[in-house]
């Protein structure tokens, strides 16, 4: 507990959303490090109660303790009615600490405003506790780290970039590949084999690179996606497709 950071009697604290980057503790920004080393409480999202939190391990590796961690559970579900109760509970727990004068941070992998649970927690917090002061600290996103690892320029000149999650319905991707110069596919996970089939069908397989767990000890880069048939590399996989590569050659 860092009592020297209390704001004093009769005042409320402040809430920070902090992006931790893709996984490598050395990619944490100086601003994020500064905030995390001064706050009273660090809220850490987890998918379940078991196992270690990747976000927590980044904080521990990149910043100086002591830390006061509070873990918040957010199940891997798609039903917003179910998730809404967890967002509301998290916002209430955060508000409890802020109202007694503490500065608190909610940490998230990557950037807080790119496919992050933080977005929903922040919306709920603003709706239910509008007087709480908020500051969001950006982080390096997974696709930025992936492009750097694979040495692939995302866009240049007047090129257009699309960033989207892979959903159960892959049909919209056909038009996306036609309309954009570079397409970044996130949340590939269990849909990898179907994506590989589609890229083969559209003759884009040689223009695609997969990067899994960018910035982590188990990061993996594959430029021959044809060998990935039947494999599943997990939720934290990104595919970068250069859709106009052959036209420029």
Residues 163 and 236 in one domain: yes
How crowded is residue 199: how many other Cβ atoms within 10 Å of its Cβ? 21
**3-state SS assignment for residue 133:** strand
Nearest Cα neighbor of 193 from 222, 160, 226, 153 is: 226
Q: How far apart are the first and last CA of the chain?
A: 59
So what's the pLDDT on residue 36? Answer: 98
pLDDT value of position 50: 52
Residue 240 is classified by DSSP as E
**Running DSSP on this structure, what letter comes out for residue 214?**
T
Query: Is 82 domain-assigned?
Result: yes
Beta bridge partners of 139: none
- Other Cβ atoms closer than 10 A to 84: 12
How far does Cα 202 stand from its chain's mean position? 29
Contact 57, 63 (CB under 8 A): no
Residue 174 has pLDDT above 90, yes or no: yes
Q: Could you report the per-residue pLDDT of 17-55, keeping only the tens digit for each?
A: 999 999 999 999 999 999 999 999 999 998 765 567 889
* Together in a domain, 154 and 235: yes
Radius of gyration of the chain (CA): 20
Q: What is the structure's pLDDT at 83? A: 82
Number of compact structural domains in the chain = 2
The predicted pLDDT at position 249 comes to: 44
pLDDT in the model for residue 6 = 45
Do 34 and 128 have their domain in common?
yes
Residue 4 has pLDDT above 60, yes or no: no
User: In whole angstroms, what is the distance from residue 125 CA to residue 43 CA?
Assistant: 14
pLDDT of residue 219: 83
Q: How much is the pLDDT for 51? A: 60
* Residue at which a domain ends, from 118, 137, 156: 137
pLDDT digits (tens, 9 = 90+) for 88-139: 999 999 999 999 999 999 999 999 999 999 999 999 999 999 999 999 999 9
Per cent of the chain over pLDDT 90 is 69
Residues 111, 67 share a domain: yes
Q: Write a three-state SS string for 52-79.
A: CCHHHHHHHHHCCCCCCEEEEECCCCCC
95/125 same-domain check: yes
Rounded to whole angstroms, how far apart are CA atoms 204 and 98?
A: 50
Residue 82 has pLDDT above 80, yes or no: no
Give the CA angle between residues 217, 223, 225 to the nearest 5°.
Answer: 105
pLDDT confidence of residue 155? 95
Query: In this structure, what is the dihedral angle of CA atoms 188, 190, 192, 195, given to the nearest 10 degrees?
Result: -80
Q: Is the same domain home to 32 and 106?
A: yes
The residue from 87, 112, 137 where one domain ends is: 137
Assess whether 225 and 117 both reside in one domain.
Answer: no
pLDDT digits (tens, 9 = 90+) for 46-76: 876 556 788 999 999 999 989 999 999 887 6
Q: What is residue 146's predicted lDDT score, i.e. its pLDDT?
A: 93
On whether both 78 and 100 belong to a single domain, the answer is yes
219 vs 235: which has the higher pLDDT: 219
pLDDT of residue 208: 95
Average pLDDT over residues 205-209: 94
| CATH code for the domain of 45 | 3.40.1010.10
Tell me the C-alpha distance between 39 and 36, whole Å.
6
pLDDT in tens, 133-169: 999 999 999 999 999 999 999 999 999 999 999 999 9
The parent domain of residue 90 ranges over 14-137
Cβ-based neighbours of 149, under 8 Å, separated by 6 or more = 211, 214, 215, 219, 221
Q: What does the alpha-carbon distance between residue 223 and residue 163 come to, in Å, rounded to a whole number?
A: 19
- Which one, of 186, 209, 187, lies nearest residue 196 by Cα? 209
Q: Please tell me the predicted confidence (pLDDT) of residue 134.
A: 97
CB 46 within 8 A of CB 72: yes
Phi-psi region at 50: left, alpha or beta (left = phi > 0; alpha = psi -120 to 50): beta
């Amino acid at each position: 507990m860092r009592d020297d950071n209390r704001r004093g009697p009769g005042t409320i604290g402040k809430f920070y959303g902090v992006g931790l980057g893709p996984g490598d503790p050395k990619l944490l920004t100086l601003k994020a490090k500064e905030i995390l080393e001064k706050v009273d409480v660090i809220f850490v999202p987890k998918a379940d109660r078991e196992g270690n939190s990747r976000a927590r391990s980044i904080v521990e590796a990149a910043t100086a303790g002591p830390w006061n961690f509070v873990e918040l559970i957010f199940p891997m579900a798609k039903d917003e009615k179910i998730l809404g109760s967890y967002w509301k509970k998290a916002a209430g727990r955060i508000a409890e600490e802020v109202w007694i004068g503490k500065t608190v941070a909610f940490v998230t992998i990557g950037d807080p405003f790119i496919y992050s649970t933080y977005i929903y927690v922040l919306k709920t917090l603003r709706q239910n506790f509008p007087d709480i002061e908020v500051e969001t600290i950006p982080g390096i996103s997974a696709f930025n780290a992936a492009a750097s690892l694979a040495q692939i320029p995302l866009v240049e000149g007047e090129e257009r970039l699309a960033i989207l999650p892979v959903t159960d319905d892959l049909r919209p991707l056909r038009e996306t590949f036609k309309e954009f110069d570079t397409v970044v596919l996130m949340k590939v996970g269990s849909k990898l084999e179907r994506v590989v089939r589609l890229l083969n069908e559209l003759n884009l397989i040689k223009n695609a690179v997969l990067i899994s767990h960018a910035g982590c000890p188990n990061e993996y880069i594959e430029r021959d996606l044809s060998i990935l048939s039947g494999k599943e590399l997990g939720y934290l996989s990104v595919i970068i497709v250069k859709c106009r590569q052959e036209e420029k050659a």
